[in-house]
Amino acid sequence: MAGEASYKRKGKLARQESNRSAKDSEIDIDKYGAGASNNQNKTRTGSRVYKIVVLGDGGVGKSAVTLQFVSHSFLDYHDPTIEDSYQQQAVIDGEPALLDILDTAGQVEFTAMRDQYMRCGEGFMICYSVTDRHSFQEASEYRKLIQKVRASEDTPMVLIGNKFDLHMQRKVSTEEGSLIL
């Protein structure tokens, strides 16, 4: 199973509309609702399901990172995400697993859903753009908020400094990034 490029896209791409609110966005409460984490979800084949939540400001490349991971391809253009969900097979601790990856909206209009995502996620990918200092500061705030929402839990987190190929526009150094986690 390791290295397979198969993935299942469960969400849908949608254009962000200025009159759209968080309650208008589709979210599967049964899947990402209260109490959804910490129950040992398994697939029909017995693989453990891990809920991974991708967080970060709008435009930092959360969807690009997610799609590159699940489909091994890079998109030149992507409409702003409201919420997309993907599944990727993996091997974790020598056991087959299914990563259920939630690509969240980074726009301010959708902040109401973030606490819910933070309560139910079992692992987090926090993204920022190395060309945007504000997104870096927000990444640090996401980390603190996850720790606050999840209280005493030791939650796996990965910090992703994205857009590092734009070195001429870089505003955040590698050293600064390593200090967050």
Segments making up each domain of the chain, as ranges: 7-14+27-180
- Look-up of token digits 């890079």: 74
Distance CA 43, CA 73 (A): 26
The closest of 78, 70, 72 to 12, measured between CA atoms, is: 78
Please state whether 122 falls in left (phi above 0), alpha (psi between -120 and 50) or beta.
Answer: alpha
Residue 8 pLDDT more than 70?
Answer: no
- Map residue 60 onto helix, strand or coil: coil
Tell me which of 168 and 106 has the higher pLDDT. Answer: 168
Q: Say if CB 86 and CB 137 are below 8 A apart.
A: no
CATH architecture of 7-14+27-180: 3-Layer(aba) Sandwich (3.40)
Instruction: Provide the pLDDT for residue 46.
Output: 85
* Whether the predicted pLDDT of 85 surpasses 60: yes
Please give the mean pLDDT across all residues of the chain. Answer: 75
pLDDT tens digits, 88-131: 999 999 999 999 999 887 765 556 677 788 888 999 999 999 99
